[in-house]
Amino acid sequence: MSSASNTLISVLYHCPCNGATQSPGALDTGIRVNSEGEEAVVPKASSNSELEAQLKVPLQPNSELLVLRASAIENLYYCDDCSELRCSRCVIEEPAGYHCPNCLFDVPTASVRSEKNCCARNCFQCPVCTHMLSVVENDTETKPFSFACSVCYWDSREIGWEFEKATGISSQIEAIKASDQQAKEYTSLLEYWRTVYRISATSAPTSTLGGHSMGGALKSRFGLSSSSGLAGNSASTAVIPPYQATGYMDTDHTRVSQRMNIENVDTVPPLSADLISIEPQRIRLHMKLARRCRSCHHILIKPESKAQATRFKIQLMAANFLPTITLPNRLSPKTPVLLPEMPLRVGKTVPLVLRFANPLYSEMGVAVAACAPEQDAHVEVVAQQFVLAPFTELWEYDEDEDEDSDGSSSGERSAGRQRGIVDRQGNRVAIQLNLTPKAVTNNLTVPLFVTCTHQDDMDMDTDAPASAPAGGDSSRRTVTNKFWVYISLGPTVQ
């Protein structure tokens, strides 16, 4: 098969948050006896007519939204409270910790706002090449330290930044900027508008409509007329003095007016050298994100708060709870390639093999159902119900695959006992589907409805009802997961 057709073959899982998945009511859970004579929990279905009548695909295979609303299992989460798949659009993100990406210093949440979401240590970027600056010692005695870049050799002494100490650079820079004209003007404006707000808030109850006093004060400051005629407005505006600039001169206002009246961009005068700010920038903080289920707010992802840690306290990924479905190239060294010849031909029935892998340490029952026959292809699921063995270590599989005197392994013997199961090895089972394309399409997509049931260990509840059976195992519960998968098989031809 060509590599071009290989890229089109994929198995995508549909998230129920993107559409109401109507699960067939006929797929109930029951108990059956497996090949080893033990009871296993497996979904059981009623008649095929009832199953086909109740199966409704949440998204049609030819829908353009399928690319956005179906994802690979590696990109999906799993909420064990809702027992549902969760994609990146149906989770809530919240910060789990802040740190500097340069020095990996963990910043407390209370200090993030006061430090303006920047690192409070000596972490600055070079204004020329954005490389990290380092503190170097100079020959001067008054302020012997400055910033220097080891890449472009930029020095902070070019802009007059020299420091008395090698630590606490951020606070020393704040002191340097306090003498800047722009910083003074900003502080003056901030204090002025705080005064306006305080005067307007105190004079609001004396007016007929107190909510208009603030608006009248703002209009008077900007030279706008107020037609309200309220006594509260005139009283409040009378006590507010006009703003007096502290750092800017008349030439600054003239320059701003010229740029506001520009009609041709070619006539924009260049900025002078003293107006171009070439200052090192503080390193912005990074944060680790935790993710919650949007429905029940259950934590799905909880990373370690430490910056150096790469582990997770909680990591509920779909691949750790739901079976992984793949289209294998081969099942074993003795089994030939199983993928059908591409491209598929309309009206020609080809066998298709799907392999299910159980990630859990408990036995899992699986039921697979095809959609209604009015799709682009007719799919016959030969093995509709089967059991996946629990996941164990790889070296334990070698003991189970011992060959008998006739040369057949135990996996081959167990696979032959149930129709439609091609191969059974460890926690993996390969089943056969008979696929018949019915129309010419650019990418044939087959939807399948999968139901998985397993026994899950749960914490013992001290407040459990007394009506619980004494002989039963109250620490185990039955978990059922139902989801749609879309199998893309590439183009079809006549």
Which amino acid, 81? D
Reply yes or no on whether the pLDDT at 376 is more than 90: no
Residue range 389-432, pLDDT digits in tens: 998 876 455 544 444 434 444 444 444 467 888 888 888 999 98
Nearest CA to 280 out of 150, 126, 119 is that of 126
Residue range 93-152, pLDDT digits in tens: 999 999 999 999 999 988 898 888 998 888 999 988 889 999 998 887 788 899 999 999
* 8 A C-beta contact, residue 486 and residue 447: yes
Q: How far is CA 366 from CA 75, 133, 328, in A?
A: 22, 59, 19
* 8 A C-beta contact, residue 434 and residue 351: yes
The better pLDDT of the pair 278, 270 is held by 278
pLDDT confidence tier of residue 465, bands split at 50, 70 and 90: very low
The better pLDDT of the pair 230, 377 is held by 377
* 8 A C-beta contact, residue 131 and residue 151: yes
* Distance, CA of 186 to CA of 180 (rounded, Å): 10
pLDDT confidence tier of residue 303, bands split at 50, 70 and 90: very high
Reply yes or no on whether the pLDDT at 372 is more than 70: no
Nearest CA to 152 out of 166, 173, 133 is that of 133
| Average pLDDT value for the chain | 75
Task: Give pLDDT, residue 8.
Answer: 65
User: Above pLDDT 90, what percent of the chain?
Assistant: 21
Structural domains present in the chain: 3-76+319-459+475-493 (2.60.40.10), 181-249+275-282 (no CATH)
Task: Give pLDDT, residue 30.
Answer: 46
Task: Give pLDDT, residue 387.
Answer: 92
Residue range 469-479, pLDDT digits in tens: 444 455 678 88
pLDDT confidence tier of residue 13, bands split at 50, 70 and 90: very high
Q: What value does the mean pLDDT take over residues 201-218?
A: 53
Residue range 314-350, pLDDT digits in tens: 999 999 999 999 988 777 766 666 677 778 888 888 8
Question: For the whole prediction, is pTM greater than 0.75?
Answer: no
